[in-house]
Amino acid sequence: MSQDFDRRHIRHAFSRAAASYDATAVLQHEVEARLLESLDEPDQPVPDTVLDLGAGPGRATAAMKKRWPKAQVLALDLSLPMLRQARKRAGWWRPFRCVCADAAALPLADGSVDLLFSNLCLQWLPDLPAVFAGFRRVMKPGGRLLLSSFGPRTLSELREAFAASDTIEHVSRFAPIQQIGDALLAAGFRDPVLDQDTFTLTYPDLPALLHELQAIGATNALTSRRHGLTGKGRFAAARAAYETLRRDGRLPSTWEVVYARAWAPAAGAPIRHGGSEVASVPVGQIGIRRR
């Protein structure tokens, strides 16, 4: 399910949302908190180097620096304004480094990261095998990977509402849990464990949902998007289609979240490419947790 994204548009959208993100991203903060809980697994060594990939305003970065004050903790994000927000959390007493870079082309040395943590960034990186190969390259053998991403049911109501009025897609199609598991194994990661949550948020109307998406930078970044205005007619039709879902005075919005944790392989383990060499993880064999 590869899609082409406009990286400049993503950078611009999240840069514009830097000041409003923290006050609006309630769901993102909840997912972040659940991902941080995974750090409590027993018998895990204290990391020397931690990478918070797609760090945004640095909430998780600051939490991990507080947890491991002697570790080198890096906040990496595509948006410089987001990293300026993150620096406000660093403080002179608990500093962490900020790196402005693309998660798809990590500017880090091979085998330099003990823990790679990434909250709701993966969905903006369409080529999962290449992305996970990059993750593996920068991780030390046996290093731990913790990440979350949106699943395919996310914003399904919004996608279907606009599909009723426009042939151009307005919402990205997110990778399913099996595809993430397959890509992890193809990159050589060991013992992947994947979980899943589904959240339903409600809004008074369609403009309120779209305003929230803009405030957190989650706008349509597909290269195939309509670059001009949607148009009053198309928007009115999408609004009418969404209204058919109204219950108890509110419009529902589904958000599916996939969590994954895995461990980097020993040095020299192969990366598998294509065909039958790529191991598959049947959905029925993955422990899926729904809340």
Q: Whole-angstrom distance between the N-terminal and C-terminal Cα of the chain?
A: 26
State the Cα–Cα distance between residues 35 and 141, nearest whole angstrom: 22
8 A C-beta contact, residue 51 and residue 117: yes
Which pLDDT value is given to residue 274? Answer: 45
Pairing relation of β-strands 49-53 and 113-119? parallel
Domains of the chain: 7-151+175-198+256-285 (3.40.50.150)
pTM of the complete model: 0.88
d(CA 51, CA 119): 11
For residue 229, the model assigns a pLDDT of: 46
Q: In the chain, how many H helices and how many E strands?
A: 10, 7
Residues (pLDDT < 70) of the chain are 1-3, 5, 166-168, 170, 220-231, 271-291
Give me the pLDDT at residue 272, please.
62
Q: How far apart are CA 168 and CA 171, in angstroms?
A: 9
Cβ neighbours for 201, distance < 8 A, ≥ 6 positions apart: 27, 252, 253, 255
- Cβ count within 10 A of residue 182: 20
DSSP three-state, residue 280: coil
* 249 burial via Cβ count (<10 Å: 0-12, 13-18, 19+): exposed
Give me the pLDDT at residue 150, please.
Answer: 94
**111, 103 contact by CB (below 8 A):** no
